[in-house]
Each structure stands twice: as structure tokens, then as C-alpha cells.
Amino acid sequence: MNKKNLIFLFLLVFAVLIFVSLTGMRIKSKKALIPDRELITQSGVCPPFFLYDEDGNTIDPVHGINAETPYSPKQTCGKCHDYEKITEGFHFQQGKDEAASGILAERYQWVSNPGNYGGNWCSPAPLYNYLSKKTNSSSKEMDMTSFTFITNGCATCHPGGGPLEYDREGFQYDKHMDSLGYTAGGTNNFDGDYFQAHWNRSGVIEADCNLCHLPEYDYKSRNDHLARFNFKWMATVGSGLAAVEGSIKDTVDVKVKYNLAKFGPDGKVSMHLVREPRNETCLNCHSKPQWKKRGSSFTEFTDVHIAKGVKCVDCHAAGSMAVDERIKGKEVHQFGKGDDPSGWVRNDLDNTMRTCTDCHTTGYLNAPVAKHSWLPDLHLDKLSCQACHIPERKVKSALVQVSDIYNPGAKISPPQKYVWTFYDQVMNYWNHYGELAMFTAKDQPSDPFIPRYAKYKGQIFPVNAVHSAWPGIYTEGEKGLNQPKQKDIYNMWIAHRKDKSKYPELGKITDNNSDTIPEVNSPEEIDAFINSVTTYLTDLGYDLSGKKVIWVNDDRMYLNGTDYKILKKETWESSPYASVYKYSHDVFPAKAGLGANGCTDCHSFKSDLFYAQVVKYPFGDDANPVMEPQYKRLDMGGFMVGLSAFREQIVKSFEYPAIIFLLLTILLSVACYVNKKQNFFPVSSQQLLIVYGLLIAGLVLVYLKPDVNSYVLPDRLTLDANHFIITILALFAGAFTWIRMKKENPSGSLLSKLQALFLILSAVSGLLMMIKFDLIYQIVRVAYTIFDLSVVLSVLISIICLIKDQFNILKPETHL
């Protein structure tokens, strides 16, 4: 090599080293995740303060000033804090401040808003209580009103403000009701905000800051007064400031008696108010619905984050602690949120919470830095973190909700919910509301199951894709479907149960699968149900002109027992009219996640990720579930899934022992060569055969005895994690043997030609594996298998070549 070329080579090597070193210096900083924040108050905590009533008057029971008036959170906390900005948060508005749009509006004719208020309420599937329109001509058109939205139970978790304080035109309910001349409990012009309401007596429910920021808050007492319609007194009793007696609902005068021990000599209160709500505070509202929807436990046993002391608000940060500029700002109460397929509230704020990578690639809050260097990028692109790190659920969730029969369970409240029947993840009947009446979250029975998976926005997530069956109302030429009122279906069944001659066709609906629970599944039962609902609605005077009662089973809309239309749905959905809930809580430790035992955790013919049988339809013609393999739900082809299982379960199960045997063969080749040079002792061909016999027997024994295998050899995860290095060494051995064969026979033997072919295939497929390009994605997936097959065949040829060389070395007179 001449001097000029040598200098060029040196500069090229130097440039590469500089480039590599610079990439190694790229360090993600924790500082970027530590937000700058403004102090809430100058002192950093709330100082002692006066209470104020709804008109802004001071409450001072120590000195007898307004001592029988409930305090107003708006007037009291609003002296220092921006009440209007705070109550813009979606926890307060719950959809009131935005209209339903997109698929939600196209599918659900009864939905006006995307949240609990005006949306799909809180159940996974119809039938729902729906919010009545603002303007109505009669009560027959109406279902839930803004007032009954509160009294039906939604306000037990709602923090106040938003639709609990202002009507749909922006007026405060109680004051506007008087200005309109409406009467408490009256029809009030069938106004959807004031029909049969008692706002002018109950007052409104202001946003109650203490509900989240006072750890000792008394939720039970608050909700007891909610049931009495004592709305404006709820914050006072919940905060433990006073004893409250009386009931607006029962027309018993409400009286307040403040606890003077809560007040200082100057009449001010000094309360234990915290900046960040505790986990228990969040779970007071979120625990029960998360049980039904996701089987979440939120315990140290089930969630590695809770076990490590992580708080809800560490991830769901808000205000000055928020990580996303969309929700960041002093006193902004838009909590960081993820992106749930069935969550429609404030979709513009999706993915504003801290993500797994925010902490586990930087070490923020002392999180362990996750290293997946052994995993091809393809996995990290296509798999969510949850897919591997939530491999099992401890507590069951509702996989199926049907709203077409009368639930035979006990202790279901309120009574209308008897038309909801739930089945768990293995299609066993589940009296969920009965369990809620008997158990707290701490009493959740253990019912472990393997989650189902869905592909959502390009990534695979563990999900609960709920199935549904329910009565709908179809109008030709209109988008979407409508529903009858939940209470009407309940009353239809009650009438039939009391008198079998009423709606007698309901008697045809029986248990057809011996699980003791009746189900609608056969053509006769479908017709019986549709006819009965039609008759009942007609009896009520419901106008069915141009409309038809139908029965919906997932994506099938039945016009009668045999005639149905397929409804369009997303690939991640079981039904266009049922929710899909991603699992994001109850995360397992890394060593318990998928992949902890190597690639076969997912890529095998027994893998739950791809081959588990999952429900396609809850009830087939025989009333048993119609099942399909999981990979079909992931919209994946059986060939590609089978190819990956073949590679990991079969090819690699042969590849690793073959490479180990190759290593032993190389060591024997070295020994034979040294023997020949040094003439240590004689070895015959027969003796070499015995050695190989012992090696083969030993290798078989090691692989047949798992305890010996785990002691002698690396586990499958270690082998898979070092697959690249192992196979590269094997290919180097293949290249060496090819050179040897080529040297011995320049024209090329069959083995040398095959070796060259397999080396080329492995090189080309190896390069394809490193390419991330959607147009050749399927080719890249095939390349993984071609690479390992090529390596296996190359190793076999290398072994044959080396053994052949060993026997050529050995001659009768040969001495080692």
C-alpha cells in the first residue's frame, strides 16, 4: 500500500472513531424533565383563612357571624386562586365544554357531548342513561336531565363545577331557575336542565377544592348529603367543618352547626391542605370503575410503580408540574392524560402525561434506565411498553356487557342496572354490581387472566375490547343508531316477570349453554326480543314511524332473527358500540415481563400473544362463544406469525445446540492439530468417534435435563440477548471453512458452493434486518427467519468440514 493510501486509510479510521465517540456522548438529561414552576402562594402553603358564603360574606362562627350558612369553595378558595381557570379542567367539565364529533357523533345518535355529561355515561356499552336535549315538547322525549345527572350517582365522584354549577347556556342553575319562574320539582317547560329539578332549593355544587387537596376529606358524609339533594352543603360537611342536618329531598329544613374546634380565635380556619393529591384521593373515584373496565387493583402487590412509592400525579402531572406545554401553567388543572381508544374527552390533550420513556430512558425520579439493546428496533416500534410489562392481570374485568335480559344476580343497585349482565374474560357470568355492593377494592377476588391484545395507532397494546349486545333503534338513511331508554327495557322485563302474559315472547329467551344465565342467541330468541321491545315501546306511545327496533350483537345489526347487516368498526374494537380500554396500570417488574424467558415467550406456537383463542362473538348459534386466534384480532396473517414461531421455537432450538456443538468441534480440531504437531499421544479414528459419541450423549443429556441445562449452559434469554454476537462468530467459522474448502478444491465442491450460498443469504438478510422501511416491512420480517436458517445450515456445513479435516489429520501412525 502506497503512502497516500495509507494516510487516507488512517484519516478514515480516525473520522469513524470520532463519529462513534460523539454518538456515545449523547446523554439524555433528567433536567429536561424537571419543570420550572411558580409558587402557588408566597408562603408555599395555604395560611389560615376566613370562610365565605356564596354571596361573598364572611363566615365566622367564633363570633356568631353567618354561623348557619354553608361555606362556598368558589368564594373562599377563589380569594387567592383562579377558580375559573381551575374549573376549565376536564375533571370538572366532563365533556360539557365541547360537542361530540367524529366517529362518536356518527355512531351514537343520543350523544351530545364526549364525556360522562352528555356522552356514554360510565358503562362499557349500551344501554346508557342519556342526557335529554335542552328543548323538549314532552317528558316522553326525555331521559336523564342535568339535575338527575347528579342524583343518578355521577356526582359521587364529580368534584363539582362545570355541569354541576352551570346550565347549557352558561347560567348558574339556582339563580337562573328563579329568574325563569320555574318551580321546584315542576315540569318547567320540559327544559333538559330544569325538568323536575330543585336547584332553587338545593343550590349548586361548586368545585370542591378540598375533595382533592384535603387528605382527611369525608367522602361518605358528602355523598350522604348528595342523596338528600343538599348540594350547596356538601363541601361544608365533606371538609369536616360542620355537622349538617335536614334534607331538601324530604323537605326538611337544612341546618348547619360549625365545629368551633376547627377555627382559631380570630375566626379563621387552618386546614391540612396538600399541593399534590394522594393516591388514595384519586382512587376514591377511579378505583371502582377501573375494576369493571380494566381489572385494576392499584396495590403494591400488583403494581411495581405503587410498590416504589410513585404517585398518580407523578405521571398525570398538571399545572406548573406538567411536562407538556399544552397543559402547563400555574393552576391549570388539565391533568396529563394518555390516549384511550374509548376516551373522547379532550382528545386535543391526548398524550400529555409522562410516558414510560420519559422516566425509563433518563432515570427521572430514580427510575431504572431500561436497556433493550438485545431487542431489534422492530419490536420497540411495534410494541407498546405495556404489551410486555403487563403480561397478566390479577383481577378480572368485564369482557362482555349484554343489555337484553334481566340479570338474575342479587344486590344490584340501582334497579335499572338489572338489565346489564356482565361476563368476565373467560366468559363466566359475573355479578359485578353485586360484588361492588359487598366488597371494597381491598376485597377484590383474585381471578388472574392473560390479557387480550389489539393494534392501536401502529402499536400493540394489552386491552379489554368489550363485547356488547343490546336493543337499538335504526332509522333508514340516518347515520348511527339510537337506543331505547334503559328504564323502559327494565320496566318491560319487570312487567313480564310479574305477569307472564305480558310480552309473552320474552319467555322464549332461555339458557342454551347450561351456565344458568339466559342469553339471546338463536333466531327465535332474537325475534322474540325485537318483537317484545317493539310492542312495549308502542304501548308507551313511542313514535316508531320510519324506525325499526333492532338487536345489535357486536358488529352485527339484526333486523330479525336471520337478517343482519355488518356495522363498520375499527380493528381494535370488538364492537363499534362498546369500549376498548388499554391496560396501563398494575405493571409487572421487568423480570416478570414477556421476554424474560427469551423470544419464545411471544414467538412460539403456544404463545398467548398470538395464538390464544379469544372471543369473536360472545354467543354463537349454540350459545357458546365464537372464538378466533389472537393474531387475527391483531390483523396479522397466519403465515407471518407462524414463520416467527417456527424460527424461535424450532429453528433456534436447533441453532443454539448446533453452535455449541460447532464450538466443541472447533476445540477438537485445535486439539487434533496440536497433537499432530507436538506428537503427544496416538489417536485413532475409532477413538475420535467415541469422543464424538460422548459429546453427543452429553449434549443430549444436558438438553433433556432442565436442571442440568440451567446449571451448565446459558439460559434462553442470555442466548437470545447475545444472538448477534453468537451468530456472527458462527458465520466467521463458516467463512473459514469455506476458504479451507475453496483452497482444497478451487473449482468448488458442492459443500463449498452451499456454504457460499448460505453465507451470502445470511449477509443479505442480516442487512435487511437493520433496515426500517415500511415498503419492505414484510420482506424484513421474512429476513429474520432466512437469516437464522442460513446460519443453521452454515453451521452444519462447518461441522461437517471440520470433522472431515479431523479424520484426515488422523492416520494410523499419527501421534499427538
Interval 109-151: pLDDT, tens: 999 999 999 998 778 999 989 999 999 999 999 999 999 999 9
- pLDDT at position 8 is 63
739: nearest Cα among 801, 659, 787, 792 = 801
∠ CA(182), CA(185), CA(186), 5° rounding?
Answer: 50
Half-sphere exposure of 704 (CA within 13 A, CB side): 6
Query: Which helix (H) or strand (E) is 356 found in, with range?
Result: helix 356-360
Is the confidence at residue 565, as pLDDT, over 90?
yes
Q: In 10 A of CB 366, how many CB atoms? A: 9
Pairing relationship of beta strands 252-258 and 400-402 according to DSSP bridges: unpaired
Q: How far is CA 56 from CA 51, 69, 731, in A?
A: 9, 11, 82
Helices in 679-722 by DSSP H: which ranges? Answer: 685-704, 706-712, 716-721
Look at residue 421 and tell me whether its pLDDT is greater than 70.
yes
pLDDT-based confidence at residue 815 (cuts at 50, 70, 90): very low
Question: In this structure, are residues 237 and 218 in contact, taking their beta carbons and an 8 Å threshold?
Answer: yes
Model confidence over 252-309: pLDDT tens digits?
999 999 999 999 999 999 999 999 999 999 999 999 899 999 999 999 999 999 999 9
Give Cα separations from 504 to 441, 508, 532, 535 (angstroms): 41, 8, 8, 11
H or E segment to which residue 762 belongs: helix 750-769
The pLDDT of residue 729 is: 95
Cα gap 470→420, rounded to integer Å: 9
The owner of cell 316508531 is 544
pLDDT of residue 549: 98
Q: Are 758 and 794 within 8 A, CB to CB?
A: yes
Q: What are 182-231's pLDDT values in tens digits? A: 999 999 999 999 999 999 999 999 999 999 999 999 999 999 999 999 99
Q: How is residue 164 annotated by DSSP?
A: G
Query: H-helix or E-strand containing 734?
Result: helix 723-744
In the three-class reduction of DSSP (H, G, I as helix; E, B as strand; rest coil), residue 687 is classed as: helix
Q: pLDDT tens digits for 462-474?
A: 999 999 999 999 9
Cα distances (Å, whole numbers) of residue 806 to 22, 145, 699, 755: 47, 90, 20, 19
pLDDT in tens, 367-379: 999 988 888 878 8
Give the pLDDT confidence score for residue 28 in this predicted structure.
52
CB distance 336 to 584 below 8 Å: no
Instruction: Express each pLDDT in 619-645 by its tens digit.
Output: 999 999 999 999 999 999 999 999 999
Q: What are the pLDDT digits (tens) for 578-605? A: 999 999 999 999 999 999 999 999 999 9
What single letter denotes the amino acid at residue 409? Answer: G
What count of Cα atoms within 13 Å lies in the side-chain half-sphere of residue 421?
A: 21
| pLDDT of the residue at 1 | 55
Measured distance CA(611)–CA(602) in Å, rounded = 9
How sure is the predictor about 675, in pLDDT bands with cuts at 50, 70 and 90? confident
pLDDT reported for residue 30: 54
Q: What angle do CA 758, 759, 765 make, to 5 degrees?
A: 85
582: β partners: 463
Q: How far apart are CA 479 and CA 485, in angstroms?
A: 19
Q: Does the CA dihedral 85-87-93-97 come out positive or negative?
A: negative
Peptide bond before residue 706 is cis, with ω within 30 degrees of 0: no
pLDDT digits (tens, 9 = 90+) for 146-165: 999 999 988 999 999 999 99
| pLDDT interval class at 816 (50, 70, 90) | very low
Cα separation, 343 vs 686, in Å, equals 73
Q: Does residue 32 surpass a pLDDT of 60?
A: no
SS3 sequence of 305-324: HHHCCCCHHHHCCCECCCCC
How far does CA 729 lie from the centroid of its chain?
A: 42
| Contact status, residue 442 vs residue 416, Cβ threshold 8 Å | no
**Quick one: cell of 139?**
317528558
Give, in degrees to the nearest 5, the angle at Cα 488 between 624 and 494.
Answer: 70
pLDDT class of 814 with cuts at 50, 70, 90: very low
Cell of 811: 492416520
Give the closest residue to 625 by CA, choosing from 473, 431, 404, 402. Answer: 402
